A and B are shown apart, each in its own frame.
Chain A
Amino acid sequence: MMVVEQDIVIKNKLGLHARPASRFAQLACSFESDIKLMKNSIAVDGKSILEVLTLACPAGSHLKIIATGQDAKQAAEALGSLVASGFNECD
């Protein structure tokens, strides 16, 4: 089983609030791999908007994506670039 870890920093101003969290979870759900999102050694299910929300990640949070599964590499990359894009919050 492939495990891919990727460090990310939340860039968008509002942090992982409702809309970005739901986009993150939706994208995570499109992969087969198990997705964990980790902050300060607390890990939550990246496929659950509610768990992602309860992690409470404002702008500037340092997080780690841990993808486990066949498409782990693609999943980590896709989620990483979604976060890096700042969720296109300014649109």
Chain B
Amino acid sequence: MENLTQCIKLKGIGASPGIVIGHCQLHDPGHIKLPYYYIFSLEGIEFEQDRFIQAVDVVERHIKDVISEIPDEILHHSDMFHAQLAMLKDKMLFEKTLEAIALDGINAEWALEDVFAKIKRSFLQIKDPFFRERLKDVEYVVKLIFDVLTDAATMDFAAKKDAAFILVAHDLTPVDTVRLRPDKVLAVVTDMGSRTSHTAILARSIGIPAVVGLEAVSELVNDDTLLVVDGLTGDVFINPDEGLIRRYVEKQDCYISHSARVATDSHLPACTRDGFTLEIKANIEMVDELPSLLINGAEGVGLLRTEVMYVAKKELPTEDELFVSYKVMLQRIAPLPITIRTLDIGGDKLASSVNFGAEINPALGLRAVRFCLKEQGLFQAQLRAILKASAFGDVRLMIPMISGKGEIMAVKIILDEVKEDLLKQGIAFNHDMKLGIMIEVPSAVMIADVLAKEVDFFSIGTNDLIQYALAIDRGNEFVAHLYDPFHPAIVRMLKRIVQAGHDAGIPVSMCGEMAGEPLYVPFLVGLGLDELSMTPTVIPRIKRIIRTLDKTQCGSLSEAIINASCIRETYELLEDFLAKYLPEDRELIQSLCKIS
């Protein structure tokens, strides 16, 4: 039977880097078989009540332990645990269960199940989803009590098996996540979650590889199913065949030796052999990513995404909240610079109760700077927060999705008004804060020379640029294969942007995914980009590749690629270049290529 297993590839979100090959363990706290029995004696009832009280005590200690283990970085997450503690001893739960044991003469599990069913009913009647969702916390607390009562091992799932395993779960609660033990859990794989969910944050901070957002992985595996988990790319393979395992063992070796080298050379500058230096920065969105940024040798933040504070809560963030978060980050990485990108989503993505309405085609709709220019109050608050933070470190302001000169002029007017207000109020800010724009709309590429005269820097957002220029939705499986950064039209656009920027004397950086892909590095160096910004974990590899390159040779490569007529030709030119100048790295680059 076992030979009939089929290798399944799943694509999720690489939330914490690392490669793991191993057997999995399902975390499935929902499937505990509960015992039901009547109790006929007074002593029996007292015993059951006592058992329940003790179970609640154990859970209480457990949650308190968890709170004390929470790293300072995410201490604000502890609110939830305090609320859970209160729920645990709540009358509606605690006393009602004791009552049910006595009145109905039933065992603790049964009584708790009945009581919880009642609580569930009252929560499900709530119309406001924000309050209804708190049922999850109650549900979690109840599950913990069941676990203790039924002596289920799930409570200590992190230590359940002797051998280390890959933990597979539908979703992990913050409590589960905080209990993860790096010596037992090789990797974490979940159906739910995003790069900013608590699972991802915790996994990164304790260094366990993780892939989240896999949708249905927990339904596709059993305990002890063999898995390959790639936390770098977000790929997960169920029942991998021998060839695949061998490839991944190699990739794992590469990654491990790469990680070992990181410590020794990540801080070195990305300087080519002929003395041309690129600045290498990181794309991040949360303060918890700063340690990883520093370890990996980033020279600043090239792209701080600011959307998370707008989507995490029901209310729009206040100017003060934004200011404090920017200020904290600046102080943490001073004297390194941070480029803050203003809000880059549309109203439909905001969690806010303010209803901005839905659009048929949001990618071409009211989003990013367009949205900000319409909702000026929201935009002003963010600009004020950024300006105020500029008094505490090196901040650069970056406006996304500029498509014409009118938009940047409108931004400048608002920015000047905000500055004037701050001046009047005597609030300190950096009067010379640099203002730059993302070049990610094809129209901006065509008038890059015009835009370059209005701003202090360009940053190329390749993800959107490629999508808009090639008319490809990457999320659409029927056309996704046509999405290619090495399309001759794209490489020519990149050339045009860099040229326009340099003609006007402003630096040009790239913060799209293309900047962090080793394969394209020689071309990007050849183009003359001044700065690359990427996911922190790929920085050491990119820096090392740049140190082995020669700018003049890369320049010739770029010229040739720009003159190529089709995608195949661009890749052939690149392959020849790698074979000639980087024979040692070629293997790594090609193996990465094959797999991804």
Q: Report if A37 contacts B (CB, 8 A).
A: no
* 1/0 contact string of A1-28 vs chain B (CB within 8 Å): 0000000000001110111011001100
Q: Report if A77 contacts B (CB, 8 A).
A: no
CA distance A18 to B86 in the complex (A): 9
CA distance A13 to B351 in the complex (A): 14
Q: Report if A47 contacts B (CB, 8 A).
A: yes
CA distance A13 to B352 in the complex (A): 11
Q: Report if A58 contacts B (CB, 8 A).
A: yes
CA distance A58 to B353 in the complex (A): 11
Q: Report if B91 contacts A (CB, 8 A).
A: yes
Q: Report if B196 contacts A (CB, 8 A).
A: no
| Contact present for A25 and B90 (CB under 8 Å) | yes
With a cutoff of 8 Å between Cβ atoms, the chain A residues found around residue B313 in the complex are: 14
With a cutoff of 8 Å between Cβ atoms, the chain A residues found around residue B53 in the complex are: none
Q: Which of B119, B122, B134 contacts A17 (CB 8 A)?
A: B134
Q: Which of A13, A51, A56 contacts B315 (CB 8 A)?
A: A13
* 1/0 contact string of B102-141 vs chain A (CB within 8 Å): 0000000000000000010011011110111010011000
Q: Identify which of A45, A47, A48 gathers the most chain B CB atoms within 10 Å of its CB.
A: A48
| Contact present for B83 and A19 (CB under 8 Å) | yes
Q: How large is the interface on B (under 10, 10 to 19, 20 to 34, 35 or more residues)?
A: 20 to 34
CA distance A54 to B122 in the complex (A): 6
CA distance A19 to B138 in the complex (A): 13
Q: Which of A26, A45, A51, A58 contacts B130 (CB 8 A)?
A: A58
CA distance A56 to B133 in the complex (A): 11
Beyond A18-B79, A18-B137, A19-B79, whether A50 also contacts B87 by CB under 8 A is: yes
Q: Which of A15, A18, A25, A26 contacts B80 (CB 8 A)?
A: A18
Nearest neighbor of B88 in chain A, beta-carbon distance: A49
CA distance A48 to B86 in the complex (A): 9
Q: Report if B453 contacts A (CB, 8 A).
A: no
Main secondary structure of the interface of B (DSSP, over half): helix
Q: Report if B405 contacts A (CB, 8 A).
A: no
| Contact present for A49 and B126 (CB under 8 Å) | no
Q: Which of B90, B125, B131, B314 contacts A48 (CB 8 A)?
A: B90
| Contact present for B119 and A56 (CB under 8 Å) | no
Beyond A14-B314, A18-B134, A58-B130, whether A49 also contacts B82 by CB under 8 A is: no
Q: Report if B93 contacts A (CB, 8 A).
A: yes
* 1/0 contact string of B132-155 vs chain A (CB within 8 Å): 101001100000000000000000
Beyond A13-B315, A54-B123, whether A18 also contacts B90 by CB under 8 A is: no
CA distance A33 to B122 in the complex (A): 25
| Contact present for B86 and A25 (CB under 8 Å) | yes
CA distance A17 to B87 in the complex (A): 13
| Contact present for A18 and B92 (CB under 8 Å) | no
Nearest neighbor of A53 in chain B, beta-carbon distance: B134
| Contact present for B92 and A50 (CB under 8 Å) | yes
CA distance A56 to B135 in the complex (A): 12
Nearest neighbor of B85 in chain A, beta-carbon distance: A22
| Contact present for B138 and A50 (CB under 8 Å) | yes
With a cutoff of 8 Å between Cβ atoms, the chain A residues found around residue B91 in the complex are: 45, 47-48, 50-51
Q: Which of A19, A45, A50 contacts B93 (CB 8 A)?
A: A50
Query: Whole-angstrom distance from the CB of A81 to the nearest CB of chain B?
Result: 20
* 1/0 contact string of A54-91 vs chain B (CB within 8 Å): 10101000000000000000000000000000000010
Q: Which residues of A contact B (CB under 8 A)?
A: 13-15, 17-19, 21-22, 25-26, 45, 47-51, 53-54, 56, 58, 90
Q: List 14 A-B contacts (CB under 8 A).
A: A14-B314, A17-B134, A19-B82, A19-B83, A22-B86, A25-B90, A26-B86, A49-B83, A49-B90, A50-B93, A54-B119, A54-B126, A54-B131, A56-B126
7 extra A-B contacts, CB within 8 A, seeds A18-B134, A22-B87, A50-B119: A14-B315, A19-B82, A22-B83, A50-B91, A50-B92, A54-B125, A58-B128
Q: Which residues of B contact A (CB under 8 A)?
A: 79-80, 82-83, 85-87, 90-93, 119, 122-123, 125-128, 130-132, 134, 137-138, 313-315, 318, 320
The 10 closest A-B pairs by CB, nearest first: A22-B86, A18-B83, A56-B131, A50-B92, A54-B122, A48-B91, A56-B126, A49-B86, A48-B92, A19-B79
